[in-house]
Structure 1
Amino acid sequence: MPTRPDTEIERRFLVHKVPADLTLGEGRLVADRYIPADAGHCYLRVRQDGDELQITKKVLKRDGDHSQMLEYTIPLSKAEYEALCTVPSKDVIKRRYDHKIAQGTLQIGVFAQALSGLIIADVEFDSHEASELFVTPHWVAAEVTGDKRFAGGELCGKSIGDLAAALAEYGITVAHRGA
């Protein structure tokens, strides 16, 4: 069990449509439950990622900077996970695909249910320098790393319609979204 948090250095991108020529495989179901349900931006997440069950607490490393977070993650047993699932939460469901690139792994999240049509790609880095050297794939629509409206803790409890104005700021209309 971690006694110190990991530093998560991440960049996040909106995707119009996943290119047909990307070989992604089946992906895996990711179910996130954000607690507490009445928070504006939730920083506590209970997650099922394929067969992995965990709880994660995220803390901003610098106020207002969502690109670097302190992340405390603890694996859960099935019984612990099920008990935490009884707590009121705001949920996000997506299918995640891992796409290998020269600089690491781009995780492509194709959202379901209320956020159906939203596609976000994330890539994590070992250092701030590596993050700055990252070459953005040509098929991403826009970088939203600094836009907290597209952070998981903000997306939970929202619908694709709730994001229409934010997506439009990046030239994306809800009507043509999809994988």
Structure 2
Amino acid sequence: MITDRYLVGTRLRLRRAARPDGGGCELKLTQKVPADRPGAVQGLTTNTYLSPAEYDLLALLPAAVLSKTRFSVPPLGVDVFGGPLQGLVLAEAEFTSDEEALAFVPPEECMAEVTDDARFTGGRLVGTSRQELMTWLAEYGIRPDAPQ
């Protein structure tokens, strides 16, 4: 389980991620700066790994909270959301170069490519209502609440 705290008024995210082996949690402060050009190119990401005391101190700051379960399906990290985002599953691939990112072909099971859609970033999803999410997905032809 991953719990992200998006610090209000910043581009900073405080993360607590349970290790899959049950060996505690990874605690980190992250800043993600999007790439200044469209497409599947890498932005700038800075991670600072924290002690429990450092995490607890930063967790006192005002934040919006988003929780998800992440599964590793190489080369993808697959996030499954609950709460108002119940049913949303996003897959993200990370690469070591822009060339790798541009050459990546998503698996055929992927229903939509949302790389260039800032609405599907954690910082936006954290404040998204179920109705907003359904509207966004409908723009991609996805209607998860429709009767099957």
Q: Tell me the distance in 1 between the aligned counterparts of 2:35 and 2:143.
A: 33
Task: Give the match for residue 62 of structure 2.
Answer: 88
Task: Give the match for residue 168 of structure 1.
Answer: 138
1:133 positional shift: 1.5
Residue 22 (structure 2) pairs with residue 52 (structure 1): no
1:154 positional shift: 0.9
1:161 positional shift: 2.2
Task: Give the match for residue 22 of structure 2.
Answer: none
Q: TM-score, normalised by structure 2?
A: 0.86
Q: TM-score, normalised by structure 1?
A: 0.72
Question: What is the one-letter code of the residue matched to 2:136?
Answer: A
Deviations 1:78-112 (A, max 9, x none): 11111222211111100000012xxxx20000012
Q: What RMSD, in angstroms, separates the aligned Cα atoms of the two structures?
A: 1.8
Question: What is the one-letter code of the residue matched to 1:145?
Answer: T
In structure 2, which of residues 53, 68, 71 is the aligned counterpart of residue 79 of structure 1?
A: 53
Task: Give the match for residue 86 of structure 2.
Answer: 116
Deviates more, 1:140-149 or 1:152-161: 152-161
- Name the % identity: 39
Q: How many residues align?
A: 140
Moved over 3 A (4+): 63-67
1:63 positional shift: 6.3
Hey, which of these two has a bigger chunk of strand by percent? 1
Q: Which runs of 5+ in 1 are unaligned?
A: 1-28
1:64 positional shift: 6.8
Task: Give the match for residue 11 of structure 2.
Answer: 43
In structure 2, which of residues 108, 111, 127 is the aligned counterpart of residue 141 of structure 1?
A: 111
Q: Is the 8 A contact 1:106 1:121 kept in 2?
A: yes
Question: What is the one-letter code of the residue matched to 2:17?
Answer: D
